[in-house]
Chains A and B, each alone.
Chain A
């Protein structure tokens, strides 16, 4: 497709479980970002990839959160031992280096 694709669109999981969220960026975009958005707030930065490497992971809240981008395209955000406070919309964005970022529709994560 032409835009950023995120799967699943919705995910409900039990507290303590492990979840993976997937992002397919726009073809050819070298930069990929993950953000988290809570209700009524703006997106909050989590991690930024340039190619395969995490150029900036300073926004990851703790070591339960991890993200990979092994081939410089698709990225997976992994959350271990989920907590109710992890419930939010997780947004992925991609950009050609230095230019505007385009966002996917997000994955709504609910931890019960």
Chain B
């Protein structure tokens, strides 16, 4: 069974204080690893897909990386508007997404 573990559960940052979120996974036959952002009361918003170890993707202050066992989401010089819950999910050959519990990031001005 696919397993996804995210750490830490919560992260409090000062504006401009860079940090990283971790997503460890076990899956049989990875098709893709996905990062989503979720704001309170909203559905998950797609950020990135990573397909193979060594791949990196960037979007504004966010950068996602992938190894064979884990993925990192790096937040560089965060702003208060980056406050959200960040979800990691893996997709195997059966197409369904298996999610972690998320990391809730709070950025203080």
Please give the residue numbers on chain A whose beta carbons come within 8 Å of chain B beta carbons, in ascending order.
Answer: 4, 6, 31, 33, 35, 40-45, 48, 50, 55-56, 59, 91, 93, 98-106
Contact = CB atoms under 8 A, between A and B. Distances in A.
A76 B96 CA distance: 18
A98 B100 CA distance: 20
Interface in B59-109: 87, 89, 94-102
A35 to B, nearest CB: 8
Contacts of A104: 43
Main secondary structure of the interface of B (DSSP, over half): strand
Contact of A91 (B34, B44, B98): B44
Interface residues of B, number: 24
B17 interface: no
Contacts of B96: 33, 45, 48, 56, 59
B45 interface: yes
A56 B98 CA distance: 13
